[in-house]
């Protein structure tokens, strides 16, 4: 298991690779697998905004495409004073692929909080409703 400083550091480093020419709002994420690997992601914008992909989803989709299927926690970093939690679509995908993982929120200087995904996404829609 990676220590928290390593996980947050990986998210901060990923944030530096963000492509945010329109909003200037750069976000980095680092997803820790059950095996202790860290997979990072950054937000990638485009002119339509609607096709922009968030850092959390980039990290998750990279991890899944590399064969990871079990996860411990995710760190999300933005250059904001207050914590920047995952958006709704990110929460949904994290829930489906990761379950009730820990979500660590930080800015460029410090840890801003720890949450369970179930706190951030109460009453999630998932496969239980499709049977």
Residues annotated as catalytic are: 56
Q: Which uninterrupted H or E stretch holds 11?
A: helix 4-15
CA quadruple 53, 131, 97, 118: dihedral sign: positive
The CA–CA distances, whole Å, from 54 to 21, 89, 114, 127 equal 14, 9, 20, 23
- The answer to whether 55 touches 16, Cβ cutoff 8 Å, is no
């Amino acid at each position: 298991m990676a220590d928290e400083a390593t996980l947050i550091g990986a998210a901060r480093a990923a944030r530096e690779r963000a492509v945010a020419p329109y909003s200037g709002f750069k976000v980095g994420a680092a997803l820790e697998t059950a095996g202790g690997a860290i997979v990072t992601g950054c937000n990638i914008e485009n002119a339509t905004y609607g096709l922009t992909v968030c850092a959390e989803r980039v990290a998750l989709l990279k991890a899944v495409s590399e064969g990871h299927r079990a996860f411990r926690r995710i760190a999300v970093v933005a250059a904001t004073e207050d914590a920047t939690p995952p958006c709704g679509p990110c929460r949904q995908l994290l829930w489906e692929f990761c379950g009730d993982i820990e979500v660590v929120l930080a800015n460029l200087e410090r840890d801003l909080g720890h949450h369970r995904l179930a706190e951030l996404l109460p009453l999630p829609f998932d496969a239980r409703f499709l049977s």
